[in-house]
Amino acid sequence: MSPRQGKARRALLTGVLALTVSLVVPLTAGAAVPAQPPPPEFETSYSVAGADTPEQRTAIAARDIDILTAGPGRLEIRATRAEADALRAEGLTLTALPPAPGTTLAPVPNAPADFPAGYSGYTNYAELGTRLTALRNRNPAIVSLSNYGTSYQGRSLPLIKISDNVGTDENEPEVLFTCAQHAREHLTVEMCLRIAERLVANYGSSTAGQVNSREIWVMPMLNPDGAEYDIAAGTLRSWRKNRQPNAGTTAVGTDPNRNWGYGWGCCGGSSGSPGSDTYRGTSAFSAPETARVRDWVNGRVVGGRQQITAHIDWHTYSELILWPYGYTTADTATGLSSADAATFASLGRAMGQTNGYTPQQASDLYIADGGMSDWMWAAHRIWSYTFEMYPTSQTQGGFYPRDSVIARETARNDAAVDLFVSYADCPPRVTGRTC
């Protein structure tokens, strides 16, 4: 969720593997970036009791303490001993957690840039290109494959469109699914693949209505540089940000989900320190990865009207369904009326009934400014949600559940996706309103 990897990662001087997929849309990697700074003080993961309000959790995050997950009655962080002692001195109860699986594996000398044993079922960048191309080649009438730009290191950012008459820009509601803004959240790539492949596989039956009446877009890996860096040493680095250098420091990376233009840096929900995992960047959209999505979404304004009506941004972990705004704890704010808030809440609760996730406004966790869903709504009135996937605790795998859960935990969201797509023509219908 909202961590601070840059503060305590070991220096692993591993080059980024250049990947080339010979497709209509090549997914290519650029040159390696400078090494990480020397590791600071060792950090431990803790469960925290006593931080029960958004204000308390926001105050913890404001110290650049790594919030791993938060939800009703739970909070997990990663902190140094001094930080943990300071929180205990304030009356909070901290209990040490075992390390996340995979992160305890020793780096593998001369390792290929791939997942370690127990995680080989996850999809790396090269494999993603292969799967997307195969999906397009088998189903050219309803699937197109393109890209919407390149990452900082030069990797193509893949984009799938699924619709009948896929080569025509029809007057149909458009739905966007985005995954892997945060590098270590690899389960979300599998979620985007599940959405695309299931829509296509079932086109002759259960998904025909969706494909025929919607234009569905899937961006399965928004942060490929970070995702590849996370696995490049043959272990799991718990890396969150992109891999863009920061001038004047050896600290690398910007948090893409604090780099969006609405409420950027406004409200204590991001960090101005380049070493922080929630570093917001030098300015809104300073990260190439967020700027390219922004440009593409802006380009979907046709005839003065935004064609995208609904959007889900997939993350891990916590099993939550979140909606705007994240920059303020107020239920309503500029551009978000009580009727809008009721629609967000009603559809969020309906989706939560299908998968068991907890639905709530994003800021019920803690303040986070410069987030993607806030911008989608404020800039374009796109009904935008954030889904935090399995699990709910680091004791269940945290950011790195074993690959044995992929099929179960992605299929768990099938009904929520179907419901979401069904309301894309007019989400306020869920409250009895019209559009």
- The encoded tokens of residue 268 equal 């204590």
Q: Could you list the active site residues? A: 388
CA separation for the pair 417, 340 (Å, rounded): 20
Helix (H) or strand (E) holding 175: strand 174-179
CA separation for the pair 181, 240 (Å, rounded): 8
- The encoded tokens of residue 161 equal 């469109």
- List of long-range contacts for 130-136, beta carbons under 8 Å, 24+ apart: 130/21, 131/193, 131/197, 132/23, 132/25, 132/158, 132/160, 132/196, 132/220, 133/21, 133/23, 133/24, 133/25, 135/160, 135/196, 135/197, 135/200, 136/24, 136/160
Q: What type of residue is 435?
A: C
CA separation for the pair 102, 121 (Å, rounded): 14
CA separation for the pair 176, 424 (Å, rounded): 10
Rg (CA), the chain: 20
Helix (H) or strand (E) holding 314: strand 308-316
- Give the strand pairing for 383-389 and 308-316: parallel
CA separation for the pair 172, 178 (Å, rounded): 19
Alpha carbon 368 to chain centroid, angstroms: 14
CA separation for the pair 215, 176 (Å, rounded): 9
Residue 398 Ramachandran class (φ > 0 left, ψ -120 to 50 alpha, else beta) = left
Report helix, strand or coil for 158: strand
